[in-house]
Structure 1
């Protein structure tokens, strides 16, 4: 994606985001973050520091960019919450029941965990790469009260956004330093997920072996 025409000379996603913000101001930053929630490959770790950098150039104020990016985060999260609510618990159970190596008891444990820790999961989930978007779907499936979901999402998003926006504002032309450290965090999260999935699959395959040996 080669995007040109912005005053910074940036290309790709960064160039597209800056151009959007230069044309629409804080609203452009909000639109970019709303899209990031719906399409996680668009990295907030790039868009938010860029928003802070653009604010440092006088395009808009810090309060304005925080307002719009947080609103974008909440609207994107509400769209995914709606997707989870539309999917529903019964339909999800039918899908899980057809999946290999996955049992309904796994889903039951997940639902029990979310019932106990749902508030913390939504709040802190807004600050974890990848899970920032995904956490909204189980909240919708479990029909977490929409008011509580919105408040928790707003609080978590505002905290996450503020850290990256202020960092980009303070670093100015060196905003990309934030991206480097955020990339390390994202890689750690991906590695942890891969380890957990591998552990689950190995354990489940081991559980199936004795039963396979009993037949005939």
Structure 2
């Protein structure tokens, strides 16, 4: 898969990077670690430049997160409640958790959005409670873009190092992404199995 994504990245150029990063945050088919890591490999091989790659990748991440944010902002808490009550077991949360998160986000939301941009499982999901809490749109976009820019820069530099150090860098990055995905899925399964509603 990594070789295919690398060709998409190389041939699609910076607009392709933006599209993949936006899509990764709405319907995550390909993780950003792989997209921006392969972008870093393209930088090492002279197919791309660091700063345009960082700019377009960050723009795509911000746009993708903003789509989720807008959907949640329009939905609001009360429309969400029946959904949480019905699917809470699979989401591993209940309505009390949503209320607590909402109060916390209204108070410290911009910093939460910024910090969670560095955490693979939570960086996309945080857009939904931020929207439900009706965080200011400009504040959400600024802190999302800042966090995404820092994370993307780390991924690009890591990919660039791989591209300069290893001949088969795409394969190494592809396997690393598979391992991270497997750990994430295992953690979710453990959460579902071990989760118990508060009333129990």
| Cα distance between partner residues in 1 of 2:121 and 2:3 | 19
| Alignment correspondent of 1:156 | 147
| Match of residue 162, structure 2, among 154, 171, 184 | 171
| Alignment correspondent of 1:7 | none
| Cα distance between partner residues in 2 of 1:165 and 1:194 | 31
Note if 1:74 corresponds to 2:65.
Answer: no
| Match of residue 44, structure 2, among 47, 56, 66 | 56
What per-residue deviation string (whole Å, max 9, x for no partner) do you get for residues 9-30 of structure 1? xxx3541x32333333222222
| Match of residue 53, structure 2, among 54, 62, 65 | 65
| Cα distance between partner residues in 2 of 1:196 and 1:120 | 25
Distance 1:176 1:124, change over 3 A: farther
| Match of residue 119, structure 2, among 128, 133, 148 | 128
| Cα distance between partner residues in 1 of 2:21 and 2:88 | 35
Q: Equivalent residue of 2:124, what SS?
A: helix
| Alignment correspondent of 2:109 | 118
> Which deviates the most, 113-122 or 127-136?
113-122
Give the deviation of 1:93 after TM superposition: 2.4
> TM-score under structure 1 normalisation?
0.76
> Which deviates the most, 119-128 or 75-84?
119-128
Give the deviation of 1:76 after TM superposition: 0.6
How many residues of Structure 1 are paired with residues of Structure 2 in the alignment?
A: 193
Give the deviation of 1:153 after TM superposition: 0.5
| Alignment correspondent of 1:5 | none
Give the deviation of 1:88 after TM superposition: 1.4
Q: Which runs of 5+ in 1 are unaligned?
A: 1-11, 209-216
| Alignment correspondent of 1:200 | 195
What per-residue deviation string (whole Å, max 9, x for no partner) do you get for residues 25-59 of structure 1? 22222211111111223111211111111122222
Asked which structure has the greater CA Rg, the reply is 1
> TM-score under structure 2 normalisation?
0.81
Give the deviation of 1:196 after TM superposition: 4.5
Note if 1:23 corresponds to 2:14.
Answer: no
| Cα distance between partner residues in 1 of 2:146 and 2:176 | 23
| Cα distance between partner residues in 2 of 1:142 and 1:93 | 14
| Cα distance between partner residues in 2 of 1:136 and 1:118 | 10
Q: Give the conservation status (yes or no) of the 8 Å contact 1:54–1:60.
A: yes
